């Protein structure tokens, strides 16, 4: 709710002071960023123009009101001092005019906010969509090198920051400037001398604000720092709670907590106190102006150079003057964080994209699943070539296992085959067609995958299995689940196939999640199948059970199995042993064992232990 | 929220002082329009410049009083709110340190973190804003009404028409906006969820060509959010114009009525000017009070979450005359132990009985979810059993002083947790007064000395938060060294060798053998090779003990064990 209350509080940051917005980030190119932001708003420029016109109107009416009110008072005062008494007709006329001004100002104000909320929300919709679409076009490399928390925060927090500020700051900025100008005009039209006297305190107000903000920023930084320390400490200690308990370190931990807590307190109250000075200080200077205007104004009235109502108008203008000045200072801060947020969004939108599919892409027909890598060269970065010169041929329907130590490039082969990454040189063909000549979607539709990371989404089991092929019938889903040995456990869940998986699918076991991903791969009915460490996160007994489902899946398909545990690949047609991006050995399990080389070593390190025991 | 009040009690005097100071400053502020009307009524009307100047001086004096009072109250408010936050944080943290793992499961670690940090900050802010701003509102309202009455009781009556209108308007808009705000939060969560799933599943999405489907899912969530946010903003946008219209029309009415009064001579012009200012301030104060409707629900929700923590009585507490020392050493016995996690339907462990002896190794094996970790978490009394009993050195764990019980144990958790600091500091965590030699000795047994010596600062090398700067295997070895340095009577390893390669695993176990001659060793493991030479192996399946014995005995008589072994070893190796 906090952002909706902005119009009422204005000057209160989350910790109650200026510059309290936590980070003190500065945008690099404020002008350019706002220019781009405006481009995003271009489709809504008619609305935006309306908004600015309406802000103009409502501000003008708002600033006219005190003058008209003063006129009413003048009228009464004249009546009070004359023989004939108050001229009620004239007073009535002025008051009706005043009422109309108030009503119009409010109406314009509401209309402006109404239209602006449309403009800003639609712009935000467009930006979110742009970010979403961008994700689709980014190479996988981007996601492997950036944390998804970072991307997520751009879509949510940054877009949110920009949205809030669009809704309020732009109109506030316009209205503040107009208000200041209008008030100056009105005041000087009443009495230039009195205006100057009234505004004499203004420079002091500005100096005080700037001084206090500067002073408090240091404290706020200290507060933010110790708050960060505290949060980090709490997180670390709560995560390691079992260790703290096991080693009886509760007292010790509490002692360290109190230390940080005390530091937070000391920095915190200072920051709060110093920033709390601004309001009364500006209020005091405002009052001084008020008093000066009253006294000088009164003396001027005596000498007949001014009317009583004019003092009233002047005072109201002075009171109104403080607000836009406060606001402008605040808006400057908000605009900075907005620009910084928008900059992060735009930086994301500017990331280099995957090269587009070829225009005259070949559409593969009657895929058989014959795969050939010839002289493939690839590195994740240009400086470090991982795969130097790899060639291999996989027959239709064969089962190929890829083994090797961590970092040998096993998963890289899969990344290349699926064109998650593109090779530097050489060629990969499927049924004789270069995969670079295919559309990525056509290529990937031939291939099914089961990964170690059992990604499922919040939704029913039915939806999650059908994800493999979105137009699959219910019957096909049941069949796939049966082949995956998942049907039984699904039916034992409440609501069966309609059982809703929660976020991260934590309401079923790891083994069950794995079975669902296998069912999902089965339903996609691919020509080529890839199992990438598909069972490494389940225990071996469960693995044996899943293995049966896997065997069903691999029947009559060209399959690649990447495995850490060698027990699962003994019956592969070919085993490729990878080391440092090169194939060091090829053959069947028996052949490789007989060879007594790299594979035999690897195998024995996992199993020979037992013979010594 | 009420339950928060006792925490504010130590600050009662300061809070009272704040109330008084706010009162002083408000009254001083409110007196200015009164002086103004006097200047107009008497100074101007009688042409008395001296009076005008002296009243002006008086106004300046009052303005000074106001600023001094406000600054002092700002000082006190800052101290009170931050002090209150500090105290509350301390209370919550102390409470959480008393929690057993059962309470952690109940709340969830992430939620406990939020409750200790964000929720308290939220309430601290509420107190701050309450003391500095919201508190002012009723004082301005009351002071304003009093001042207005002094000027003209008849005319002040207009307030009793306008204020109810104002309140009704605020209530209507709040009533419309609240549900929208809630629904907006939900839709925002939905957008985040879809985006999160999209990013975590990017490989799967690309592999299955479901980009269009994903696009639609996001677009729908996005559209939903946009529509609701727009509705919500448009509703909230009503508030200010509605309030301003009410306020301003009241002014208009006031001036009209004032004109009538002035005409019959029962009022002076200056009084109208003062009244208009009073009425405006009164009505603004009501707008300020409406802030509480926005702030309060959030603060109250935070307070509620904090209360849940402070109200939770830790299930595991020391008995009145808890036992601290024993004569027996290195024995653990389970007698018909059954244990169910809170809110679970099925027991996690059912009727488990076994005993270990000094110098013996007991291994526990079984599928994921079979209850292995649960079983060993009962020994340091992280949870209490439903029925049966666990004896350590012949005494029920519930009879012990918790610290004394755990001092007997060297516990190595499944997830190797290290703390920010140095390598040496992390090992010393096991024994505060350990010498450097002891630390190095423990580290050698845990096979961690070699990689530590390769580091530039050796035992003084930094460990970052979350120990992201050491590998999984190194983390495990350091957390094993931490247990060894205590020279405990009971070693508990919860699948603590999983990230070690086979060679290090066997070297570590061989080195450990010499250290544990008089201690009980309990090992949970996935790999058969790690545990096949244990003195006894306990096979768990869905919380039941389905076998106990040596490797060879179990191969003979335990089907589950056979299944596990055959999944890992080839048939010739099983012999």
CATH code of A541's domain: 3.40.50.300
Nearest CB to B502 within list A270, A451, A609: A609
User: B131, B121, B78, B17: which is closest to A270 by C-alpha?
Assistant: B78
Test mutation, A168, A269, A316, chain B, max B CBs within 10 A? A269
Q: Are residue A562 and residue A475 in the same domain, yes or no?
A: no
Could you tell me the residue range of the domain that residue A497 belongs to?
A: 456-525
CA distance B413 to B495: 8
Q: Which secondary structure element, helix H or strand E, spans residue A475, and what is its range? A: helix A474-483
Is residue B22 classed as helix, strand or coil in its secondary structure? helix
Neighboring chain A residues of B191 at a CB cutoff of 8 Å: 128, 155-156
Q: Across all residues in chain A, what is the average pLDDT?
A: 81
CA distance A55 to A177: 11
A416, pLDDT greater than 70: yes
Looking at the structure, give the CATH architecture of the domain made up of residues B1-152+292-315. Answer: Up-down Bundle (1.20)
A18, pLDDT greater than 50: no
In a domain, A303, yes or no: no
Give the mean pLDDT of A153-157: 74
Q: Across all residues in chain B, what is the average pLDDT?
A: 84
Q: Are residue A150 and residue A185 in the same domain, yes or no?
A: yes
Poorest-pLDDT segment among A360-364, A445-449, A539-543: A539-543
pLDDT band per the 50, 70, 90 thresholds, residue B219? very high
A42 DSSP assignment: G
Structural contact between residues B412 and B494, judged by C-beta atoms closer than 8 angstroms: yes
User: B384, B495, B368: which is closest to B101 by C-alpha?
Assistant: B384
Query: In this complex, do A247 and B411 lie within 8 Å of one another by their Cβ atoms?
Result: yes
Q: Are residue A539 and residue A593 in the same domain, yes or no?
A: yes
Query: In this complex, do B406 and A69 lie within 8 Å of one another by their Cβ atoms?
Result: no
pLDDT recorded at residue A1: 30
Give the mean pLDDT of B42-71: 89
Neighboring chain A residues of B531 at a CB cutoff of 8 Å: none
CA distance A315 to A134: 55
A381 DSSP assignment: B
Q: Are residue A94 and residue A45 in the same domain, yes or no?
A: yes
Residue B257's CB is within 10 A of a number of other CB atoms, namely: 18
More confident of the two residues A542 and B378: B378
A258, pLDDT greater than 90: yes
Beta strands in A395-436, from DSSP E residues, in sequence order = 399-403, 425-430, 433-434
pLDDT recorded at residue B231: 92
Poorest-pLDDT segment among A116-120, A315-319, A565-569: A565-569
Query: In this complex, do A458 and B409 lie within 8 Å of one another by their Cβ atoms?
Result: no
Give the mean pLDDT of A553-576: 80
pLDDT band per the 50, 70, 90 thresholds, residue A7? very low
Confirm or reject contact between B175 and chain A (CB < 8 A): no
In a domain, A137, yes or no: yes
Q: Which residue of B has its CA nearest to A253?
A: B97
Nearest CB to B63 within list A95, A240, A287: A287
Q: Which secondary structure element, helix H or strand E, spans residue B356, and what is its range? A: strand B349-356
Confirm or reject contact between B218 and chain A (CB < 8 A): yes
pLDDT band per the 50, 70, 90 thresholds, residue A564? low
CA distance A435 to A446: 11
pLDDT recorded at residue A397: 83
Query: In this complex, do B191 and A9 lie within 8 Å of one another by their Cβ atoms?
Result: no
pLDDT recorded at residue A17: 36
pLDDT recorded at residue A537: 62
* β-pair partners for B392: B332, B395
CA distance B126 to A569: 62
Q: Are residue A62 and residue A144 in the same domain, yes or no?
A: yes
CA-based angle B544:B547:B553, to the nearest 5?
A: 175
Query: In this complex, do A236 and B420 lie within 8 Å of one another by their Cβ atoms?
Result: yes
Looking at the structure, give the CATH architecture of the domain made up of residues B327-339+347-408+489-496+522-575. Answer: 3-Layer(aba) Sandwich (3.40)
Q: Are residue A480 and residue A532 in the same domain, yes or no?
A: no
Q: Which secondary structure element, helix H or strand E, spans residue A210, and what is its range? A: helix A202-239
pLDDT recorded at residue A20: 35
CA–CA distances in Å: residue A94 to residues A62, A306, B40: 15, 19, 22
Q: Which residue of B has its CA nearest to A312?
A: B273
Structural contact between residues A357 and A184, judged by C-beta atoms closer than 8 angstroms: no
Structural contact between residues A313 and A186, judged by C-beta atoms closer than 8 angstroms: yes
Neighboring chain A residues of B369 at a CB cutoff of 8 Å: 509
CA–CA distances in Å: residue A361 to residues A96, A232, A426, A432, A441: 74, 52, 19, 14, 11
Q: Percent of chain A scored above 90 by pLDDT?
A: 8
pLDDT recorded at residue B58: 92
Query: pLDDT digits over A293-306, tens only?
Result: 888 988 888 888 88
Residue B454's CB is within 10 A of a number of other CB atoms, namely: 9
DSSP secondary structure of B135-153 = THHHHHHHHHHHHHHHH-H
User: A566, A559, A554, A552: which is closest to A530 by C-alpha?
Assistant: A559
Query: pLDDT digits over A310-332, tens only?
Result: 888 888 888 888 777 767 767 77
In a domain, A315, yes or no: no
CATH code of A166's domain: 1.20.1560.10
B414-487 matches B327-339+347-408+489-496+522-575 in CATH topology: yes
Neighboring chain A residues of B196 at a CB cutoff of 8 Å: 148, 152
ipTM reported for the complex surpasses 0.85: no
Closest CA of chain B from A224, distance in Å: 12
User: A49, A302, A8: which is closest to B173 by C-alpha?
Assistant: A8
Query: pLDDT digits over B258-294, tens only?
Result: 888 888 888 888 888 888 888 888 878 877 777 777 7
Instruction: Please write down the HEC assignment for all residues of A45-107.
Output: HHHHHHHHHHHHHHHHHHHHHHHHHHHHHHHHHHHHHCCCCCCHHHHHHHHHHHHHHHHHHHH
CA distance A569 to A402: 9
User: A465, A501, A463: which is closest to A483 by C-alpha?
Assistant: A465
Query: pLDDT digits over A186-197, tens only?
Result: 889 988 988 998
Residue B514's CB is within 10 A of a number of other CB atoms, namely: 8
pLDDT band per the 50, 70, 90 thresholds, residue A567? low
pLDDT recorded at residue A488: 80
User: B412, B560, B397, B380: which is closest to B484 by C-alpha?
Assistant: B412
Neighboring chain A residues of B182 at a CB cutoff of 8 Å: none
Instruction: Show which of residues 308-347 on chain B sit within 8 Å of chain A, judged by CB atoms.
Output: none
Helical H segments across B201-354, by residue range = 202-207, 211-236, 239-264, 269-311
Q: Are residue A380 and residue A501 in the same domain, yes or no?
A: no
Per-domain boundaries in chain B: 1-152+292-315, 327-339+347-408+489-496+522-575, 414-487
In a domain, A337, yes or no: yes
CA distance A347 to A354: 16
Test mutation, A276, A445, A453, A537, chain B, max B CBs within 10 A? A276
Structural contact between residues B452 and B443, judged by C-beta atoms closer than 8 angstroms: yes
Q: Percent of chain A scored above 70 by pLDDT?
A: 91
pLDDT recorded at residue A2: 34
Query: In this complex, do A311 and B40 lie within 8 Å of one another by their Cβ atoms?
Result: yes
Parallel/antiparallel/unpaired status of strands A528-532 and A574-579: unpaired
Q: Percent of chain B scored above 90 by pLDDT?
A: 11
CA distance B304 to B311: 10
Structural contact between residues A338 and A124, judged by C-beta atoms closer than 8 angstroms: no
Query: In this complex, do B56 and A294 lie within 8 Å of one another by their Cβ atoms?
Result: yes
pLDDT band per the 50, 70, 90 thresholds, residue B569? low
Instruction: Please write down the HEC assignment for all residues of B159-227.
Output: HHHHHHHHHHHHHHHHHHHHHHHHHHHHHHHHHHHHHHHHHHCHHHHHHCCCHHHHHHHHHHHHHHHHH
Q: How close are the terminal C-alpha atoms of chain B, in Å? A: 68
In a domain, A222, yes or no: no
CA distance A404 to A599: 8
Query: pLDDT digits over A590-604, tens only?
Result: 888 888 888 887 777
Poorest-pLDDT segment among A21-30, A512-521, B336-345, B440-449: A21-30
Parallel/antiparallel/unpaired status of strands B361-366 and B520-524: parallel
Q: Are residue A536 and residue A516 in the same domain, yes or no?
A: no
What's the structural domain count of chain A?
Answer: 3
Neighboring chain B residues of A607 at a CB cutoff of 8 Å: 529, 569-570, 573
Query: pLDDT digits over B428-476, tens only?
Result: 888 888 888 888 888 888 888 888 888 788 888 888 777 777 777 788 8
In a domain, A207, yes or no: no
Looking at the structure, give the CATH architecture of the domain made up of residues B414-487. Answer: 3-Layer(aba) Sandwich (3.40)
User: A320, A331, A55: which is closest to A178 by C-alpha?
Assistant: A55
Q: Are residue A510 and residue A413 in the same domain, yes or no?
A: no
Closest CA of chain A from B394, distance in Å: 20
Query: pLDDT digits over A571-589, tens only?
Result: 788 888 888 778 888 888 8
Give me the numbers of helices (H) and strands (E) for chain B, helices first please. 25, 12
CA distance B400 to B326: 10
Give the mean pLDDT of B215-242: 90
Q: Are residue A570 and residue A498 in the same domain, yes or no?
A: no
Confirm or reject contact between B20 and chain A (CB < 8 A): no
Query: In this complex, do B244 and A246 lie within 8 Å of one another by their Cβ atoms?
Result: no
Q: Are residue A375 and residue A411 in the same domain, yes or no?
A: yes
Query: In this complex, do A605 and B503 lie within 8 Å of one another by their Cβ atoms?
Result: yes
CA–CA distances in Å: residue B237 to residues A117, B240, B249, B269: 9, 7, 19, 36
CA distance B418 to B412: 11
More confident of the two residues A534 and A288: A288
Q: Are residue A465 and residue A532 in the same domain, yes or no?
A: no
pLDDT recorded at residue B171: 87
In a domain, A121, yes or no: yes
DSSP secondary structure of B38-83 = HIIIIIIHHT-HHHHHHHHHHHHHHHHHHHHHHHHHHHHHHHHHHH
In a domain, A465, yes or no: yes
Give the mean pLDDT of B411-431: 84
Neighboring chain B residues of A273 at a CB cutoff of 8 Å: 74-75, 78-79
pLDDT band per the 50, 70, 90 thresholds, residue A3? very low
* β-pair partners for B520: B490
Angle between helices A278-302 and B49-98 (to 10 degrees): 170
Cα R_g (chain B), whole angstroms:
36
Q: Which secondary structure element, helix H or strand E, spans residue B539, and what is its range? A: strand B536-541
Residue B263's CB is within 10 A of a number of other CB atoms, namely: 17
Query: pLDDT digits over B64-113, tens only?
Result: 999 999 999 999 999 999 999 999 999 999 999 888 888 888 888 878 88
Query: In this complex, do B66 and A167 lie within 8 Å of one another by their Cβ atoms?
Result: no
Most confident of A472-486, B10-24, B468-482: B10-24
CA distance B119 to B306: 7
More confident of the two residues A79 and B575: A79
Closest CA of chain B from A260, distance in Å: 10
Closest CA of chain B from A103, distance in Å: 6
Poorest-pLDDT segment among A376-380, B18-22, B147-151, B529-533: B529-533
Query: In this complex, do A103 and B242 lie within 8 Å of one another by their Cβ atoms?
Result: no
């Amino acid at each position: 709710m906090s952002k909706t209350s902005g119009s009422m509080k204005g000057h209160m940051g989350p910790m109650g002071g200026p510059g309290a917005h936590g980070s003190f980030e500065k945008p690099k190119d404020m002008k350019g960023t706002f220019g781009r932001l405006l481009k995003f708003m271009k489709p809504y420029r008619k609305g935006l123009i309306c908004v600015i016109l309406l802000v103009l109107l409502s501000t003008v009416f708002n600033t006219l009101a005190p003058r008209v009110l003063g006129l009413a008072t003048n009228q009464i005062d004249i009546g009070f001092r004359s023989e004939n008494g108050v001229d009620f007709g004239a007073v009535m006329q002025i008051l009706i005019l005043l009422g109309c001004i108030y009503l119009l100002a409010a109406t314009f104000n509401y209309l402006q906010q109404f239209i602006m909320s449309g403009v800003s929300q639609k712009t935000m919709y467009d930006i979110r969509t742009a970010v979403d679409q961008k994700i689709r076009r980014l190479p996988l490399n981007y996601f492997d090198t950036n944390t998804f928390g970072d991307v997520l925060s751009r879509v949510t927090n940054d877009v949110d920051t920009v949205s809030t500020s669009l809704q309020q700051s732009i109109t506030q900025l316009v209205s503040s400037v107009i208000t200041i100008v209008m008030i100056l005009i009105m005041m000087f039209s009443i009495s230039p001398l009195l205006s100057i006297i009234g505004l004499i305190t203004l420079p002091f107000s500005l100096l005080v604000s700037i001084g206090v903000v500067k002073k408090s920023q240091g404290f706020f930084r200290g507060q933010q720092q110790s708050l960060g320390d505290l949060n980090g400490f709490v997180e670390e200690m709560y995560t390691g709670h079992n260790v703290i308990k096991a080693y009886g370190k509760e007292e010790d931990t509490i002692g360290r907590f109190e230390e940080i807590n005390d530091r937070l307190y000391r920095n915190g109250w200072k920051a709060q106190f110093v920033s709390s000075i601004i309001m009364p200080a500006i209020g005091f200077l405002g009052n001084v102006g008020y008093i000066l205007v009253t006294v000088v104004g009164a003396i001027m009235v005596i000498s007949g150079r001014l009317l009583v109502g004019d003092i009233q108008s002047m005072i109201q203008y002075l009171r109104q003057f403080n607000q836009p000045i406060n606001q402008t200072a605040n808006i400057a801060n908000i605009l900075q964080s907005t620009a910084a947020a928008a900059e992060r969004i735009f930086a994301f939108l500017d990331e280099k994209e995957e090269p587009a599919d070829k225009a005259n892409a070949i559409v593969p027909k009657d895929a058989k699943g014959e795969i050939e890598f010839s002289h493939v060269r690839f590195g994740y970065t240009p400086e470090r070539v991982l795969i130097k010169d790899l060639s291999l041929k996989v027959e239709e329907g064969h089962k190929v296992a890829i083994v090797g130590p961590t970092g040998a490039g096993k998963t890289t082969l899969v990344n290349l085959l699926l064109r998650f990454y593109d090779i530097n040189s050489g060629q990969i063909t499927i049924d004789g067609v270069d995969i670079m000549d295919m559309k990525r979607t056509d290529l990937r539709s031939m291939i099914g995958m089961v990964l170690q990371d059992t990604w499922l989404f919040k939704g029913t089991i039915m939806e999650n299995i059908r994800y493999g092929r979105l137009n699959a019938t219910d019957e096909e889903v049941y069949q796939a689940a049966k082949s995956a040995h998942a049907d039984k456990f699904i039916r034992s869940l409440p609501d069966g196939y309609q059982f809703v998986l929660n976020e991260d699918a934590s309401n079923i076991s790891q083994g069950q999640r794995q079975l669902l991903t296998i069912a999902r791969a089965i339903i996609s009915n691919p020509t080529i199948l890839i199992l990438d460490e598909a069972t490494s996160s389940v225990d071996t007994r469960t693995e044996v059970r899943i293995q049966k489902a896997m065997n069903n899946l691999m029947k009559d398909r060209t399959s690649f199995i990447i495995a850490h545990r060698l027990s699962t690949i003994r019956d592969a047609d070919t085993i490729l042993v990878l080391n440092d991006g090169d194939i060091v050995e090829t053959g069947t399990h028996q052949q490789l064992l007989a060879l007594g080389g790299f594979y035999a070593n690897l195998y024995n390190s996992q199993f020979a232990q037992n013979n010594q025991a | 929220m009420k339950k928060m009040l006792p925490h504010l009690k130590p600050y009662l005097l300061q809070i009272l002082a704040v109330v008084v100071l706010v009162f002083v400053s408000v009254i001083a502020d409110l007196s200015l329009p009164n002086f103004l009307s006097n200047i107009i009524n008497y100074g101007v009307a009688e042409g008395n410049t001296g009076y005008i100047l002296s009243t002006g001086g008086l106004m300046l004096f009052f303005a000074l009083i106001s600023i001094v009072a406000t600054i002092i109250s700002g000082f006190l408010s800052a101290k009170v709110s931050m002090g209150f936050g500090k105290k509350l944080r301390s209370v919550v943290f102390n409470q959480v340190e008393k929690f057993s793992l059962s309470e952690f499961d109940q709340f969830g670690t992430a939620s406990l973190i939020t409750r200790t940090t964000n929720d308290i900050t939220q309430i601290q802010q509420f107190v701050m804003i309450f003391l500095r701003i919201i508190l002012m509102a009723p004082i301005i309202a009351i002071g304003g009404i009093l001042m207005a009455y002094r000027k003209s009781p008849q005319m002040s009556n207009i307030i009793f028409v306008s204020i109810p209108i104002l309140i009704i308007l605020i209530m209507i808009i709040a009533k419309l906006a609240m549900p929208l705000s809630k629904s907006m939060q939900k839709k925002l969560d939905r957008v985040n969820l879809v985006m999160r799933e999209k990013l975590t599943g990017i490989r799967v999405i690309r592999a299955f060509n479901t980009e269009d489907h994903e696009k639609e899912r996001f677009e729908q969530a996005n559209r939903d959010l946009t529509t609701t946010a727009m509705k919500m903003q448009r509703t909230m946008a009503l508030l200010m114009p509605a309030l301003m219209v009410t306020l301003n029309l009241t002014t208009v009415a006031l001036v009209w009525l004032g004109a009538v009064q002035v005409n019959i001579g029962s009022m002076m012009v200056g009084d109208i000017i003062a009244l208009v200012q009073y009425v405006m301030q009164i009505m603004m104060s009501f707008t300020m009070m409406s802030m509480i409707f926005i702030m309060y629900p959030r603060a109250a929700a935070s307070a509620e979450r904090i209360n849940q923590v402070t109200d939770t009585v830790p299930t595991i507490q020391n008995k009145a005359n808890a036992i601290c020392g024993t004569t027996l050493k290195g024995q653990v016995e389970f007698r018909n132990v059954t244990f169910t996690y809170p809110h679970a339907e099925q027991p996690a462990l059912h009727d488990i009985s076994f005993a270990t002896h000094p110098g013996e190794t007991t291994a526990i094996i079984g599928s994921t979810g079979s209850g292995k970790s649960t079983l060993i978490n009962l020994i340091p009394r992280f949870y209490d059993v439903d029925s049966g009993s666990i004896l350590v050195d012949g005494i029920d764990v519930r009879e012990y002083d918790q610290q004394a019980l755990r001092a007997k144990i060297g516990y190595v958790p499944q997830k190797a947790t290290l703390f920010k600091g140095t390598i040496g500091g992390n090992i010393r965590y096991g024994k505060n007064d350990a010498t450097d030699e002891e630390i190095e000795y423990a580290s050698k047994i845990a096979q961690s000395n070699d990689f530590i010596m390769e580091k530039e600062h050796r035992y003084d090398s930094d460990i970052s938060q979350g120990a992201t700067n050491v590998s999984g295997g190194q983390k495990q070895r350091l957390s094993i060294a931490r247990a060894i340095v205590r020279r405990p009577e009971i070693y508990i390893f919860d699948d603590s060798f999983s990230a070690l390669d086979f060679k290090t695993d066997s070297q570590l176990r061989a080195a450990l053998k010499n250290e544990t001659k008089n201690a009980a060793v309990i090992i949970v493991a996935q790999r058969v090779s790690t545990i096949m030479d244990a003195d006894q192996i306990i096979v768990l399946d869905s919380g039941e003990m389905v076998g106990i014995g040596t490797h060879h005995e179990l191969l003979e008589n335990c089907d589950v064990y056979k299944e596990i072994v055959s999944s890992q070893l080839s048939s010739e190796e099983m012999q």
